[in-house]
A and B are shown apart, each in its own frame.
Chain A
Amino acid sequence: MLSFLRAIGAGFFAFLGATGRLFLFALASLARVLRPPYYLRATLRQVIEIGYFSLPVVGLTALFTGMVLALQSYVGFARFNAESSVATVVVLSMTRELGPVIGGLMVAGRVGAAIAAEIGTMRVTDQIDALSTLSTDPLRYLVLPRLLAGLLTLPFLVLVADVLGVFGGFLVGTYKLGFNPAAYLEQTHQYLEAKDVVLGLVKASVFGFIVTLTGCYQGYHSRGGAQGVGQATTYAVVSASVLILLSDYFLTQAFFTR
C-alpha cells in the first residue's frame, strides 16, 4: 500500500517537474522576442512548413469530419424529429471544437514529430553546440521561429478546416440527406456567432503553440543517438496530443460556459 502511494507520489512529482521545465523552456524562448536579432528567414520557412504544407492533411480530415458529423447527427436527431438542427450542429461543432482539435492533432502528428526529429538530430550530432560556437543562440534561431510559426499559422489552418468541415456537412446534407441547399445554408448561419469562430481560432493558436513547444523541447533535450531521437519524437507527439485535449477542456470551460 505504502509503495503504491509512493509510486503515485513519485509520478505526480515527475509530472510537476516535467511541466515546470517545459514552462521554463517556453519562457526562456519567448523572452528572446524582446531583443534583436530576429531570424525572419527562418521564421518564414517555418510558417510555410507548418502552415502551408499541413493544408492537405488538415483539410482532408476536416472535410470528412464535417461529413460524418452531418450523417451522425441526422441519424440521432431523426429519433426525435429534430433533423432540421443538423446544419447548426455541424457548424457549431466544427468551429468551436472539432476544427481546432482535429487541426491541432493532425499538426502534432505531422509537424510536432518533424520538429522533434530535426532538432533532436541536431542535438545528437553537435549541430546545436555548433550554433553556439558560431555566436548564434539556439533558442532564438531554432526554437523561437517554430513557436511563433505555430502560434500564428494554426488559426489560419483551422479557419480553412472550419470552412471545409462545414462544406462537408453541406455536401452530405444536400446530396444524401435531401436538405434544400438554401435552407441548409440559412440554418448554418442562423445560430452561428462570431464568437464561436474567433474563440475556436484562439484555441487553435494555443494548440499550435503546444505542438511546436513540445516538439522543440523534446528535440532539444534528446540524447543518445538515433534511438534517443526516435524516443523524443514519440514523446513529442504523445505529450502534444495529451496537452491539446487537456487544455481543450479548460479552454472550453473558460470560453463557452457562462
Chain B
Amino acid sequence: MNRDAVAKISVRGLKKSFDRKTVLTGLDIDCAVGESLVIIGGSGTGKSVLVKCILGLLRPEAGSIRIDGVETVGVSAGARERLMHKMGMLFQGGALFDSLKVWENVAFGLTAGRSVEREAAREIALAKLAAVGLGREVGELFPAELSGGMQKRVALARAIAAEPEMIFFDEPTTGLDPIMADVINNLIQKCVRELGATAVSITHDLVSARKIADRIAMLHKGLIIWEGPTAEIDRSGNPFVDQFVNGRAEGPIEMEIRAL
C-alpha cells in the first residue's frame, strides 16, 4: 500500500521548542484514512505537543503537516476554521467549559460551531452522554460537580458529538476504572469502524493501546523511534519499546531522577 497516496495526516520534519526547551526535533509520522494510530512514549516527551501542532493550536518552528494532502502549517484563520470542522479533540485535562452545563458542553460544537437548533443539539448531546455511560440527569449538572472520570467521559462525548472525520484522544482512559476504560475503548473502536473516522490516540495504557490501535508509534527524544502494527509491539526488537512495554525502570530510557 502506498501510504503517501492515502495519508489522512502526514507530518514531516516537525520541530517545536519552548523558550530553551526543544520538544520535537524533526518528527515524521503518517496516519492513513480510517486508521487508528496510537502514540506511546514517556511522560513529557511531547505527545500532547505533537497533537496540538497537528490541530494547529501550536505553531511549529519548522516542518510540514499535510491533512488530506494539503499543507496546513501557516494557513489563514478562515481555512483553519474549516479544517477544525473535520476534527475533534479530547484534551488531556478535559478542558470542559465550566460556565456551561454538561449537556451544553457536549452540544457546544453543534450549537456554536455548526448552528444546530438548541433542542435538537440537546437530544444529540444526551444520546452521546448515554454512550459514555452518563444519564440524562448528569446533563443538567456543571462540570465542577462531576468526578474526574466523569469529566473525562463528558470531554470524550464532546469530542465525538459532531462526528468529525479525524479525532484526537489525549489519554482517553487515564483516571477511569478498568471496566469504564474498556467501555471507552469500545467507543473509540466504534468511532473508527462505524463512522470511518481517523483516530490518533495518546495513551500510557498498553491494554487500551493493544485494543484500539491499528498501528502504534513510540515517541522518544523528539522523534518517532519505532512504529509498526499493533501485533508487532511485543517483538519490535527495539530496546526502548521493550522497556516501555514491560514497564522496567532499568533500560536505555534514562529517567532524569536521582535516588533518595
A135 and B85: CB pair below 8 A?
yes
B91 and A129: CB pair below 8 A?
yes
Closest to A39 in B: B112
CA distance A141 to B99 in the complex (A): 13
CA distance A134 to B158 in the complex (A): 9
B57 and A136: CB pair below 8 A?
no
With contacts A39-B112, A129-B57 taken as known, whether A135 is within 8 angstroms of B95 at the C-beta atoms is: no
Query: Which residue, of A125, A126, A137, has the highest number of chain B Cβ atoms within 10 A?
Result: A126
CA distance A231 to B52 in the complex (A): 26
Task: Digitize B43-65: 1 where CB-to-A-CB distance is under 8 Å, 0 elsewhere.
Answer: 00000000010011100000000
Task: Digitize B219-245: 1 where CB-to-A-CB distance is under 8 Å, 0 elsewhere.
Answer: 000000000000000000000000000
Which residues of chain B are near A134, meaning CB under 8 Å? Answer: 84, 108-109, 112-113, 158, 162
A130 at the interface (CB under 8 A from B): yes
B interface residues, tally (CB under 8 Å):
29
Which residues of chain A are near B89, meaning CB under 8 Å? Answer: 129-130, 133
Which residues of chain A are near B109, meaning CB under 8 Å? Answer: 134-136
B93 at the interface (CB under 8 A from A): yes
A126 and B113: CB pair below 8 A?
no
CA distance A132 to B112 in the complex (A): 11
Shortest Cβ distance from B99 into chain A, in angstroms?
A: 8
The answer, among A39, A126, A136, A137, for a CB contact under 8 Å with B95, is: A126
B87 at the interface (CB under 8 A from A): yes
A136 and B113: CB pair below 8 A?
yes
A135 and B91: CB pair below 8 A?
no
A130 and B91: CB pair below 8 A?
yes
A37 at the interface (CB under 8 A from B): yes
Shortest Cβ distance from A11 into chain B, in angstroms?
A: 22
B112 and A141: CB pair below 8 A?
yes
CA distance A125 to B87 in the complex (A): 20
Q: Which A residues from 114 to 163 make CB contacts under 8 A with B?
A: 118, 122, 125-127, 129-130, 132-137, 141
Which residues of chain A are near B113, meaning CB under 8 Å? Answer: 134-136
With contacts A37-B115, A133-B87, A134-B113 taken as known, whether A127 is within 8 angstroms of B97 at the C-beta atoms is: yes
B84 and A132: CB pair below 8 A?
yes
CA distance A122 to B143 in the complex (A): 13
Which residues of chain A are near B96, meaning CB under 8 Å? Answer: 127, 130
Which residues of chain B are near A129, meaning CB under 8 Å? Answer: 52, 55, 57, 89, 91, 95
B93 and A126: CB pair below 8 A?
yes
CA distance A39 to B88 in the complex (A): 22
Q: Which B residues from 190 to 214 make CB contacts under 8 A with A?
A: none
Task: Digitize B159-181: 1 where CB-to-A-CB distance is under 8 Å, 0 elsewhere.
Answer: 10010000000000000000000
Shortest Cβ distance from A47 into chain B, in angstroms?
A: 16
Shortest Cβ distance from B237 into chain A, in angstroms?
A: 37
CA distance A196 to B192 in the complex (A): 66
Task: Digitize A22-46: 1 where CB-to-B-CB distance is under 8 Å, 0 elsewhere.
Answer: 0000000000000001010000000
Closest to B87 in A: A133
Query: Which residue, of A126, A127, A129, A130, has the highest number of chain B Cβ atoms within 10 A?
Result: A130
B93 and A133: CB pair below 8 A?
no
A127 and B95: CB pair below 8 A?
yes
Shortest Cβ distance from B14 into chain A, in angstroms?
A: 18
B57 and A132: CB pair below 8 A?
yes
CA distance A118 to B80 in the complex (A): 25
Shortest Cβ distance from B102 into chain A, in angstroms?
A: 14
Closest to B164 in A: A133
Closest to B77 in A: A137
B248 at the interface (CB under 8 A from A): no
B21 at the interface (CB under 8 A from A): no
Task: Digitize B245-259: 1 where CB-to-A-CB distance is under 8 Å, 0 elsewhere.
Answer: 000000000000000
User: What would be 12 A-B contacts, judged by CB atoms less than 8 Å apart?
Assistant: A37-B112, A126-B91, A129-B55, A129-B57, A130-B89, A132-B55, A133-B57, A133-B89, A134-B112, A135-B84, A135-B109, A137-B77
Residues of B within 8 A of A (CB): 52, 55-57, 77, 80-81, 84-85, 87-89, 91-93, 95-99, 108-109, 112-115, 158-159, 162
Taking A39-B112, A127-B97, A129-B91 as given, write out 17 further A-B residue pairs in contact, using a Cβ cutoff of 8 Å, ordered by the A residue number: A118-B99, A122-B97, A126-B92, A126-B93, A129-B89, A130-B89, A130-B97, A132-B56, A132-B80, A133-B55, A133-B87, A133-B89, A134-B113, A135-B112, A135-B113, A136-B109, A141-B112
